[in-house]
Protein backbone atom coordinates (compact mmCIF):
# COMPACT_ATOMS: atom_id res chain seq x y z
CA UNK A 1 0.00 0.00 0.00
CA UNK A 2 1.24 3.49 -0.89
CA UNK A 3 0.94 6.04 1.90
CA UNK A 4 2.32 9.56 2.04
CA UNK A 5 1.88 12.86 3.78
CA UNK A 6 1.69 16.26 2.14
CA UNK A 7 4.55 18.65 2.90
CA UNK A 8 3.60 22.23 3.73
CA UNK A 9 5.96 24.23 1.53
CA UNK A 10 5.69 27.26 3.80
CA UNK A 11 7.01 25.38 6.84
CA UNK A 12 9.29 22.95 4.96
CA UNK A 13 12.76 23.19 6.47
CA UNK A 14 14.27 23.49 2.98
CA UNK A 15 11.73 26.11 1.87
CA UNK A 16 14.19 28.54 0.29
CA UNK A 17 16.29 25.86 -1.35
CA UNK A 18 13.21 24.08 -2.63
CA UNK A 19 11.86 27.24 -4.23
CA UNK A 20 15.19 28.05 -5.88
CA UNK A 21 15.82 24.59 -7.34
CA UNK A 22 12.22 23.98 -8.37
CA UNK A 23 11.72 27.41 -10.00
CA UNK A 24 14.95 29.30 -10.76
CA UNK A 25 17.50 26.54 -11.26
CA UNK A 26 15.73 23.27 -11.98
CA UNK A 27 18.30 20.51 -11.69
CA UNK A 28 19.42 17.33 -10.00
CA UNK A 29 22.56 16.57 -8.04
CA UNK A 30 24.59 13.39 -8.37
CA UNK A 31 27.74 11.98 -6.87
CA UNK A 32 29.91 8.89 -7.30
CA UNK A 33 32.14 7.54 -4.57
CA UNK A 34 33.73 4.24 -3.63
CA UNK A 35 32.47 2.41 -0.57
CA UNK A 36 34.39 -0.25 1.32
CA UNK A 37 32.52 -3.54 0.95
CA UNK A 38 35.28 -5.79 2.31
CA UNK A 39 33.31 -6.81 5.40
CA UNK A 40 30.06 -7.29 3.49
CA UNK A 41 31.76 -9.55 0.95
CA UNK A 42 33.27 -11.62 3.77
CA UNK A 43 29.90 -11.78 5.54
CA UNK A 44 28.18 -12.95 2.37
CA UNK A 45 30.73 -15.71 1.84
CA UNK A 46 30.64 -16.90 5.46
CA UNK A 47 26.84 -16.99 5.57
CA UNK A 48 26.34 -18.40 2.09
CA UNK A 49 24.18 -15.44 1.11
CA UNK A 50 24.31 -13.31 -2.01
CA UNK A 51 26.38 -10.14 -1.81
CA UNK A 52 24.08 -8.38 -4.27
CA UNK A 53 20.95 -8.97 -2.19
CA UNK A 54 22.71 -8.06 1.04
CA UNK A 55 23.83 -4.75 -0.43
CA UNK A 56 20.38 -4.11 -1.88
CA UNK A 57 18.82 -4.63 1.54
CA UNK A 58 21.24 -2.22 3.19
CA UNK A 59 20.70 0.33 0.44
CA UNK A 60 16.95 0.15 1.10
CA UNK A 61 17.57 0.72 4.81
CA UNK A 62 19.58 3.82 3.99
CA UNK A 63 17.08 5.24 1.52
CA UNK A 64 14.31 4.80 4.08
CA UNK A 65 16.36 6.25 6.93
CA UNK A 66 15.52 9.91 6.20
CA UNK A 67 12.44 11.64 4.89
CA UNK A 68 14.69 13.58 2.52
CA UNK A 69 15.20 10.41 0.45
CA UNK A 70 11.49 9.55 0.34
CA UNK A 71 10.17 12.74 -1.24
CA UNK A 72 7.80 12.83 -4.17
CA UNK A 73 6.09 15.41 -6.36
CA UNK A 74 2.54 15.34 -7.72
CA UNK A 75 2.92 17.63 -10.71
CA UNK A 76 -0.81 17.70 -11.49
CA UNK A 77 -1.50 19.56 -8.23
CA UNK A 78 1.99 20.98 -7.58
CA UNK A 79 2.08 19.02 -4.32
CA UNK A 80 5.24 18.07 -2.45
CA UNK A 81 4.86 14.80 -0.55
CA UNK A 82 6.85 12.36 1.55
CA UNK A 83 6.20 8.63 1.25
CA UNK A 84 6.06 6.42 4.33
CA UNK A 85 8.36 3.95 2.59
CA UNK A 86 10.10 3.56 -0.76
CA UNK A 87 10.91 0.26 -2.45
CA UNK A 88 13.65 -0.78 -4.89
CA UNK A 89 13.19 -1.35 -8.58
CA UNK A 90 15.98 -3.81 -9.27
CA UNK A 91 16.87 -5.42 -12.60
CA UNK A 92 17.57 -8.90 -13.95
CA UNK A 93 19.99 -9.14 -16.88
CA UNK A 94 19.43 -11.83 -19.51
CA UNK A 95 22.75 -13.01 -20.92
CA UNK A 96 21.24 -14.52 -24.07
CA UNK A 97 19.41 -11.39 -25.20
CA UNK A 98 21.59 -8.80 -23.42
CA UNK A 99 18.46 -7.09 -22.13
CA UNK A 100 17.08 -6.54 -18.66
CA UNK A 101 13.77 -6.92 -16.87
CA UNK A 102 12.67 -4.54 -14.09
CA UNK A 103 11.83 -6.25 -10.81
CA UNK A 104 9.54 -4.55 -8.30
CA UNK A 105 10.49 -5.78 -4.85
CA UNK A 106 8.83 -4.46 -1.70
CA UNK A 107 11.18 -3.33 1.03
CA UNK A 108 10.75 -5.06 4.37
CA UNK A 109 12.69 -4.04 7.47
CA UNK A 110 13.22 -7.67 8.48
CA UNK A 111 16.25 -8.93 6.55
CA UNK A 112 15.14 -12.59 6.17
CA UNK A 113 11.78 -11.51 4.77
CA UNK A 114 13.29 -9.05 2.30
CA UNK A 115 16.00 -11.51 1.23
CA UNK A 116 13.50 -14.30 0.58
CA UNK A 117 11.10 -12.06 -1.34
CA UNK A 118 13.84 -10.45 -3.42
CA UNK A 119 15.17 -13.85 -4.48
CA UNK A 120 11.64 -14.94 -5.39
CA UNK A 121 11.07 -11.79 -7.46
CA UNK A 122 14.35 -12.30 -9.31
CA UNK A 123 13.52 -15.90 -10.19
CA UNK A 124 10.14 -14.84 -11.52
CA UNK A 125 11.72 -12.11 -13.64
CA UNK A 126 14.13 -14.61 -15.17
CA UNK A 127 11.17 -16.29 -16.82
CA UNK A 128 10.25 -13.26 -18.89
CA UNK A 129 11.91 -11.00 -21.44
CA UNK A 130 9.38 -8.20 -21.03
CA UNK A 131 10.78 -4.83 -19.98
CA UNK A 132 7.60 -4.22 -18.03
CA UNK A 133 8.50 -0.89 -16.44
CA UNK A 134 5.34 0.47 -14.80
CA UNK A 135 6.21 3.70 -13.01
CA UNK A 136 2.63 4.95 -13.03
CA UNK A 137 1.57 2.23 -10.61
CA UNK A 138 4.86 2.27 -8.67
CA UNK A 139 5.38 5.93 -7.71
CA UNK A 140 7.19 5.18 -4.46
CA UNK A 141 9.81 2.91 -6.00
CA UNK A 142 13.39 4.07 -6.52
CA UNK A 143 15.80 2.82 -9.15
CA UNK A 144 18.46 0.47 -7.77
CA UNK A 145 20.60 -0.83 -10.61
CA UNK A 146 23.83 -2.83 -10.51
CA UNK A 147 26.42 -2.51 -13.30
CA UNK A 148 28.62 -5.53 -12.49
CA UNK A 149 30.75 -5.42 -15.62
CA UNK A 150 32.80 -2.35 -14.76
CA UNK A 151 34.43 -0.71 -11.76
CA UNK A 152 33.73 2.79 -13.00
CA UNK A 153 34.89 6.15 -11.66
CA UNK A 154 31.92 8.37 -12.49
CA UNK A 155 28.39 8.15 -13.79
CA UNK A 156 25.76 10.69 -14.73
CA UNK A 157 22.10 10.15 -15.62
CA UNK A 158 20.31 12.80 -17.66
CA UNK A 159 16.54 13.24 -17.43
CA UNK A 160 14.92 15.73 -19.85
CA UNK A 161 12.33 16.71 -17.23
CA UNK A 162 14.43 15.75 -14.23
CA UNK A 163 13.18 18.61 -12.09
CA UNK A 164 9.85 16.73 -11.91
CA UNK A 165 11.47 13.44 -10.91
CA UNK A 166 12.07 13.15 -7.18
CA UNK A 167 12.73 9.43 -6.68
CA UNK A 168 16.38 8.53 -5.94
CA UNK A 169 18.40 6.77 -8.62
CA UNK A 170 21.21 4.59 -7.28
CA UNK A 171 23.70 2.60 -9.34
CA UNK A 172 26.69 0.56 -8.26
CA UNK A 173 29.41 -1.20 -10.19
CA UNK A 174 32.00 -3.94 -9.84
CA UNK A 175 34.17 -3.79 -6.73
CA UNK A 176 37.92 -3.98 -7.04
CA UNK A 177 40.82 -4.41 -4.64
CA UNK A 178 42.60 -1.25 -3.56
CA UNK A 179 45.29 -1.45 -0.88
CA UNK A 180 43.93 -4.72 0.42
CA UNK A 181 40.30 -3.48 0.59
CA UNK A 182 37.38 -4.14 -1.74
CA UNK A 183 36.10 -0.80 -2.98
CA UNK A 184 32.86 -0.50 -4.95
CA UNK A 185 31.67 2.53 -6.95
CA UNK A 186 28.23 3.79 -6.00
CA UNK A 187 26.39 6.62 -7.77
CA UNK A 188 23.50 8.53 -6.23
CA UNK A 189 21.21 10.94 -8.05
CA UNK A 190 18.68 13.10 -6.17
CA UNK A 191 16.52 16.06 -7.09
CA UNK A 192 18.32 19.23 -5.99
CA UNK A 193 15.07 20.79 -4.79
CA UNK A 194 14.95 18.30 -1.92
CA UNK A 195 18.62 17.39 -1.55
CA UNK A 196 22.01 19.07 -1.57
CA UNK A 197 25.59 17.89 -1.45
CA UNK A 198 25.36 17.05 2.24
CA UNK A 199 22.34 14.79 1.78
CA UNK A 200 23.89 13.00 -1.20
CA UNK A 201 27.19 12.50 0.63
CA UNK A 202 25.26 11.29 3.65
CA UNK A 203 23.99 8.32 1.64
CA UNK A 204 27.55 6.99 1.44
CA UNK A 205 28.17 7.63 5.14
CA UNK A 206 24.98 5.80 6.05
CA UNK A 207 25.88 2.91 3.75
CA UNK A 208 29.21 2.42 5.53
CA UNK A 209 27.48 2.56 8.90
CA UNK A 210 24.75 0.11 7.94
CA UNK A 211 27.28 -2.34 6.50
CA UNK A 212 29.36 -2.20 9.69
CA UNK A 213 26.29 -2.82 11.86
CA UNK A 214 25.05 -5.59 9.58
CA UNK A 215 28.38 -7.44 9.69
CA UNK A 216 28.91 -6.88 13.41
CA UNK A 217 29.63 -10.08 15.28
CA UNK A 218 30.69 -12.01 12.20
CA UNK A 219 34.21 -13.27 13.01
CA UNK A 220 36.69 -12.42 10.31
CA UNK A 221 34.24 -10.17 8.44
CA UNK A 222 35.72 -6.88 9.51
CA UNK A 223 39.05 -7.51 7.82
CATH code for the domain in which residue 141 is found: 3.30.559.10
- As a whole number of angstroms, the distance between CA 192 and CA 200 comes to 10
Over range 7-20, report the average pLDDT: 96
pLDDT band for position 187 (50/70/90)? very high
**What is the number of domains present in the chain?**
1
- Side-chain-side CA neighbours of residue 183 (13 Å): 11
Q: Is residue 220 part of a domain?
A: no
pTM: 0.95
| Contact in structure between 117 and 108 (CB atoms under 8 Å) | yes
pLDDT band for position 160 (50/70/90)? confident
Q: Is residue 221 part of a domain?
A: no
Q: Is residue 223 part of a domain?
A: no
Q: How many residues does the chain have?
A: 223
Q: Is residue 122 part of a domain?
A: yes
Q: Is residue 222 part of a domain?
A: no
Q: Is residue 68 part of a domain?
A: yes
Report the share of the chain in percent with pLDDT over 90: 86
Over range 190-214, report the average pLDDT: 97
Supply the pLDDT for residue 158: 83
To the nearest whole number, what is the mean pLDDT of the chain?
Answer: 94
Q: Is residue 175 part of a domain?
A: yes
For residue 120, the SS3 value is helix
Q: Is residue 104 part of a domain?
A: yes
Over range 123-141, report the average pLDDT: 87
- pLDDT of 213 over the 90 cut: yes
- Domain membership of residue 122 as a residue range: 4-215
74-79 long-range contacts, CB within 8 A, separation 24+: 75/164, 79/6
pLDDT band for position 223 (50/70/90)? low
Amino acid sequence: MMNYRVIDKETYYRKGVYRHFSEDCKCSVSMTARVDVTALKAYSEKTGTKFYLNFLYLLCRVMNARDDYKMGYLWESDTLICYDVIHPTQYVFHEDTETCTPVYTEYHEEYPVFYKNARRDIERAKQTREYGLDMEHHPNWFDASCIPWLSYDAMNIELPDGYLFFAPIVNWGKYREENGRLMMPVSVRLNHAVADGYLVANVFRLLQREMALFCQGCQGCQG
